[in-house]
Structure 1
């Protein structure tokens, strides 16, 4: 869930400072065609998203498929700092045959090298089935702030699932839009779908990205990619 800063045109050669791995040497292309801006501090509705790729923190919209396939998106065209994108597609999260979340009002967070992370409005989540994780796992994103982790409550037949989801209760400036939203780790629940398509989990067990057919990598999280 860590986020960084990008130029619109740059060759990616980042390292973690300890010489561990480099991302593919591929230039980032400025976005010349993109979703409509629907709201963001300091942004004008209807403005091109090209400037948001560099500034980060903007909110743009992505409509439901409406019978056609979404164009391919390379995670190496996503920005740093990340962009927030409103998504009206049908997102469902299920576990043990129970629907945990069902929404057409999600936010996607898009960051260089990562598949998108979907944040579901709390009003579309069965929050009664979650509790703040007792272990108080803590992580800090340089852009979004301090994460709160959520455990899926156990039942008589099933144990709890620790840290199955997370949220930002007090996100940092520029990312206030994700307050009141919860994101789920797809590998820790029975299934997540976007407009009926089954989601594949981002590797590594930490970042929580959602991989669908519209998104292309390579993705951070695979072995040897820690320094990307």
Structure 2
């Protein structure tokens, strides 16, 4: 399906608990002038009020450009997340990515896949379309032209 033929998705029609959906479009992440990730085997997590989060298989990520970061977080659906800094040459982006080394059973397919914050790398694209970051500094949703909100994450939305 071409980009122009894709239907618009309202994040308010996404389910809770989140859905896990395979996505065969070309998904790429760039950092410090390098191609950090490129895949046609992404998994999208679709959750009410959030733009999709794309999780990329580790074999399609240049993990030499990632370093384990301190700390973690807990998702009630997916389990314990660990964070990754992006590093290349003299550039560093703290906690640019996260993964679930041992996700809860319903999300086992996400094991070791990496998700990237679009605002913490140089660019994320889906079939050539540049992604816009989800508002706020906690959620890592990818906003494309096919996704409509309003989106959780910006000021005043934490109680949604």
Structure 1 position 80 matched with structure 2 position 16? yes
Partner of 2:148: 216
Query: RMSD over aligned Cα, in angstroms?
Result: 1.0
- Equivalent residue for 1:98, pick from 29, 34, 38: 34
Contact 2:17 / 2:77 at 8 angstroms: preserved in 1?
yes
Structure 1 residues 121 and 227: alpha-carbon distance in aligned structure 2, compared to 1, 3 A threshold: same
TM-score (norm 1): 0.68
The alignment partner of 1:203 has SS state of coil
Bigger Cα Rg: 1
1:160 CA displacement: 1.6
Higher relative contact order (CA 8 A, sep 6+): 2
Taking the aligned partners of 2:7 and 2:113, their CA distance within structure 1 comes to 26
Q: How does 1:54-203 map onto structure 2 within 5 Å?
A: 65-66=1-2, 68-133=4-69, 136-155=70-89, 158-203=90-135
Aligned residue for 2:38, secondary structure, equals strand
8 Å contact from structure 1 (residues 154, 161) kept in 2:
no
- What is the total number of aligned residue pairs between the two structures? 160
Deviations 1:46-94 (A, max 9, x none): xxxxxxxxxxxxxxxxxxx346421000000000000000000000100
CA deviations on 1:173-196 (whole Å, 9 max, x unpaired) are 100010020000000000000000
Unaligned runs of 5+ in 1: 1-64
Deviation at 1:202, TM superposition (A): 0.2
- Distance in 2, matches of 1:180 and 1:161, equals 20
Separation of aligned partners in 1, 2:88 and 2:39: 23
Structure 1 residues 67 and 198, CA, compared in 2 at 3 Å: closer, same or farther? closer
Moved runs in structure 1, 4+ residues, more than 4 A? none
Gaps of 5+ in 2: none
SS for the counterpart of 2:94 is strand
How far the C-alpha of 1:108 sits from its partner, in A, is 0.1
CA–CA distance in 2 between the matches of 1:145 and 1:219? 23
